[in-house]
Amino acid sequence: MEIRLDRAAFMAELTPMQGIVERKSTIPVLSHILLRCVGDRLQLSATDLDVSLTSSVTGEVTREGGIAVQARKFSEIIRALVGDEVLLALEDEKTLRIAAGRSRFKIRGLLPEDFPSLPQVKGDEPLEIPFEGLQRMISKVIFAVSTEESRFQLSGALLHIKEGKIEMVATDGRRLALVENPVDGLPDASEGVLVPRKALQELQRFEGDGAIQFRRGEHHLSFRLGQRELIGRILDGTFPDYDRVIARDNDKRVSLDRKLLIDAIQRVALLTGDRARAIRLRFAPDEVVLSAANPDLGEAVEKLACEYDGPEIEIGMNPDYLVQFLVAAETAKVRLELKDENTQCVGFPIDGADERYLCVVMPMRI
């Protein structure tokens, strides 16, 4: 293996691999990136066995071949080099020589045969989804994906392709986020598919424009954008019947300035405890009072104007859940729909860009 590359172009494809690589894995090869020269390109691959990323960069190939190198240290070397070009060449089957400018490195690696075989997703023609729109949808729901390993069926987002629409839903049992947007030319898929959280996170880090090609296999999903392909294992398990979770009879509607509400919540939340992250919101005509009390720290109270003309109502909620929804909403104003202190709060952006977007937050006892 020997190839001469443009260092900036190489670094652009090498950097996304860092999010895939397992840094604390008990399987040493999963902390490596596979480099393989084929034709006039250097192919790069990384995997944690659940999510894989492949890419490539063109170069001047003198000799084909491959090696798996420790990802973090190799990336640090390439980033630190000076010069427009970098030369990669195998000294022997487990030693890679790196040269750029006056710098020379040798890094030990593993045989390419030791690197895990990556899954391939084949089947029907891929669906084309506007990439920018997909990233926006992910940002609207990813905060609601569960981080509890025991709840594996909630550790991803449900992606549902409908005729001319895409719907994405995530929940951790305490809040739920749903977004739906039109996409021309999409067929109807009878079932949704669970996309793992790590795949969603890596898609958010992708850079590019145009359409991303989405393909579903028997056990894996493929997202291809340009020369990059992200493959994720489909999560097993049954996603909750989320339509039943969304309250339909919340008859109290409050409209608020989104940014002012974010600031007020964050100030009041300063006096919440680490274990009991809860604030109280008391809604009255044209006013909401936010408060928090902590026997060890003290208490905080803040008043905020709002558009509301119903009866007085109090509800306890997790401030982090509210703020995450408000940040994702992006609009100037939001609407909160409530019923009583024991019923979920449903938040909506007012005049948002999405066809449908909502966030359900369960109440807390204070």
pLDDT at 221: 94
Contact status, residue 50 vs residue 232, Cβ threshold 8 Å:
yes
Q: What is the pLDDT of residues 32-42, one digit of tens each?
A: 999 999 999 99
Among residues 114, 135, 168, the one where a domain terminates is 114
Average pLDDT, the chain: 93
Residue 190 has pLDDT above 70, yes or no: no
Domain range for 149 is: 127-243
Residue 351 sits in the same domain as residue 251: yes
User: Does residue 122 lie within any of the structural domains?
Assistant: no
Alpha-helix runs per DSSP H in the chain: 7-14, 71-80, 131-141, 197-205, 242-245, 258-268, 319-329
Residue 253 sits in the same domain as residue 307: yes
**C-alpha to C-alpha distances, 311 to 107, 328, 337, nearest whole angstrom:** 70, 29, 13
User: Residue 291: pLDDT band by 50, 70, 90 thresholds?
Assistant: very high
Residue 237 sits in the same domain as residue 254: no
Q: pLDDT exceeding 70 applies to what percent of the chain? A: 99
Among residues 187, 222, 243, the one where a domain terminates is 243
Contact status, residue 274 vs residue 356, Cβ threshold 8 Å:
no
User: Residue 281: pLDDT band by 50, 70, 90 thresholds?
Assistant: very high
Show Cβ contacts of residue 116 under 8 Å, excluding neighbours closer than 6 positions. Answer: 29, 30, 47, 49
The structural domain count of the chain equals 3
Compare 189 and 177 and report the one with higher pLDDT.
177
The per-residue DSSP string of 152-218 comes to GGGSEEEEEEETTEEEEEEE-SSEEEEEEEE-TTPPP-SS-EEEEHHHHHHHHH----SEEEEEE-S
Least Cα distance to 176 among 363, 361, 365 occurs for 361
User: Residue 237: pLDDT band by 50, 70, 90 thresholds?
Assistant: confident
Here the CATH number for the domain that contains residue 95 is 3.10.150.10
Q: pLDDT exceeding 90 applies to what percent of the chain? A: 79
Quote the CA–CA distance of 153 and 169 in Å, as a whole number.
12
Show Cβ contacts of residue 223 under 8 Å, excluding neighbours closer than 6 positions. Answer: 199, 203, 212, 213, 214, 229, 230, 231, 232
pLDDT at 143: 97
Residue 228 sits in the same domain as residue 279: no
Residue 165 sits in the same domain as residue 271: no
CB atoms within 10 A of CB 138: 21
Residue 225 sits in the same domain as residue 268: no
pLDDT at 117: 94
Instruction: Please give the average per-residue pLDDT across 355-360, as a whole number.
Output: 95
Contact status, residue 348 vs residue 256, Cβ threshold 8 Å:
no
pLDDT at 235: 92
pLDDT at 158: 95
**DSSP label of 76:** H
Quote the CA–CA distance of 295 and 271 in Å, as a whole number.
10
User: Residue 277: pLDDT band by 50, 70, 90 thresholds?
Assistant: confident
Q: What is the pLDDT of residues 78-92, one digit of tens each?
A: 999 998 999 999 999
Residue 95 sits in the same domain as residue 132: no
pLDDT at 333: 97
Residue 58 has pLDDT above 70, yes or no: yes
What is the residue whose two structure tokens read 């909401």? 288
**DSSP label of 19:** G
CB atoms within 10 A of CB 158: 22
User: Residue 146: pLDDT band by 50, 70, 90 thresholds?
Assistant: very high
Among residues 114, 137, 153, the one where a domain terminates is 114
Residue 317 sits in the same domain as residue 291: yes
Compare 164 and 256 and report the one with higher pLDDT.
256
Quote the CA–CA distance of 233 and 196 in Å, as a whole number.
7
Residue 64 sits in the same domain as residue 146: no
Instruction: Please give the average per-residue pLDDT across 140-152, as a whole number.
Output: 89
